[in-house]
Amino acid sequence: MTEPSASPAGESAKPELAPGQQFHPLAFAGRVFSPLTGAVAIFGDHIILLGRSLAWLFRPPFRLRLFFEQMEFVGVGSLPIIMLVGFFTGAVTALQAILALSLFEQQRYVGFGVGISLARELAPVFTALMITARAGSGMATELASMRITEQVDALTTFAVNPVQYLVTPRLVASCLMLPVMNMVFNVVGLIGVYVVAIVSYHIDLGQVLELFRHGVDPIDYIEGLIKAFFFGLTMATCACYQGLNVRGGAKEVGLATTRAVVSTSVTVLVLDYFLIQIMNVLFPYGGL
């Protein structure tokens, strides 16, 4: 037998409360805004992890070996992919720039245009995205595997702080190696420009170099380096957070890696916008 309906048939549908249940405005608001509060909480957790990791940087023991291992993983290990992507980014951008500039017969500006794009934008952002795909995903997977196989707990049983042992070296290595890789990207990108502009399109090298020298300022490279430093900070924090906070099994390890790559990539692009705004104030663009 079914229970008689509380409202007469035909009355407009209204959310019904179970018997004895009362409507609490605060609880309702909590449910409505829970995605927002959840996002704020996760952001807060990232900041706490970053803060703890930086605090542990200055407390002994200092395990230099771990720092060098991570620098090798993030930097040296990423060198081939950075060089490959850097070369083709420079070459493709130069190709497009030459096509556009040829409308005004000003192909000689290609070095300046692509050089400044690489220095200020393409190199730091592409470096961050490439290293996130390679090293950030690796960090998240490794830490997540360590978490689910209780290796992180095992560290704690030996009175070793997991943040100091696992997160701090990855954070420092990322902050140091992303700027280095950013410069490698710039150099290799300019080689790509050279190959397209000088070798393929026979644009005068002297003019290209002269305009590049006048137009591209060391400040442009410094901006790129500052950006790369913050992107490294972002990547290591997101990857380590996702890795250390995994629960479950192999499927969750995969999901944690995906979340690490997606959250880092999105954060890098959003952060890029705000860093540009800040640096436009700090280092006003002079142009040619």
Partner 1 sequence: MADDPQSRSDRWQIRIRDLHKSFGTQHVLRGVNLDIERGKINIIIGGSGQGKSVFMKHLMGLLAPDSGHIYVDGQDIIGLGDVAMGKIQRKFGMVFQYAALFDSMNVVENIAFPLLERYRLPKTEVMERVRALLTLLDLAKTAGIEQKFPAELSGGMRKRVGLARALIDRPEILLYDEPTTGLDPIATKNVDEMIRRTADEFGVTSVVISHDMASTFRIADRVAMLYEGLIVANGTRKEVLASPNPVLREFVETSGAVQFGGGPS
- Check residue 96 for interaction with partner 1 (CB under 8 A): no
- Check residue 163 for interaction with partner 1 (CB under 8 A): no
- Over the window 110 to 149, marking each residue x when it contacts partner 1 by CB under 8 A and - when it does not, the resulting string is -----------------------------------xx--x
Start-end of H helices in the chain: 25-32, 34-57, 64-74, 79-101, 110-117, 123-131, 137-148, 151-157, 162, 168-194, 205-215, 218-244, 250-282
- Using the rule CB under 8 A, which residue among 158, 202, 251, 284 binds partner 1? 158
Number of residues interacting with partner 1: please give it, by CB under 8 A.
14
Phi–psi pair at 139, nearest 5 degrees: -60, -45
Min dist. Cβ of residue 63 to partner 1 (A): 9
Q: What angle do CA 143, 148, 149 make, to 5 degrees?
A: 95
Which one, 23 or 158, has the nearer CB to partner 1? 158
Which one, 250 or 278, has the nearer CB to partner 1? 250
- Using the rule CB under 8 A, which residue among 79, 101, 160, 198 binds partner 1? 160
- Check residue 161 for interaction with partner 1 (CB under 8 A): yes
- Using the rule CB under 8 A, which residue among 16, 45, 72, 153 binds partner 1? 153
Min dist. Cβ of residue 161 to partner 1 (A): 7
What is the distance between the alpha carbons of residues 108 and 210, in angstroms, rounded to a whole number?
A: 9
- Check residue 159 for interaction with partner 1 (CB under 8 A): yes
From 244, 243, 241, select the one nearest 233 (Cα to Cα). 241
- Using the rule CB under 8 A, which residue among 39, 40, 154, 266 binds partner 1? 154
Which one, 46 or 52, has the nearer CB to partner 1? 52
What is the distance between the alpha carbons of residues 282 and 276, in angstroms, rounded to a whole number?
A: 10
Report DSSP letters for 6-43, one per residue: SS-TTSPP-PPPPTT----HHHHHHHHTHHHHHHHHHH
Min dist. Cβ of residue 39 to partner 1 (A): 19
Which one, 102 or 149, has the nearer CB to partner 1? 149
Min dist. Cβ of residue 146 to partner 1 (A): 8
What is the distance between the alpha carbons of residues 98 and 259, in angstroms, rounded to a whole number?
A: 38
Distances (CA, A) of 195 to 93, 129, 200: 12, 25, 6
What is the distance between the alpha carbons of residues 33 and 168, in angstroms, rounded to a whole number?
A: 34
- Using the rule CB under 8 A, which residue among 47, 150, 248, 270 binds partner 1? 150
Min dist. Cβ of residue 184 to partner 1 (A): 27
Residues 30 to 69 in contact with partner 1, rule: CB under 8 A: 61
Do 147 and 244 form a contact (C-beta atoms < 8 A)? yes
Which one, 70 or 234, has the nearer CB to partner 1? 70
Which one, 158 or 273, has the nearer CB to partner 1? 158
Instruction: Output the six-digit token pair for 224.
Output: 């790129």
Positions touching partner 1 (CB under 8 A) are 61, 145-146, 149-151, 153-154, 156-161
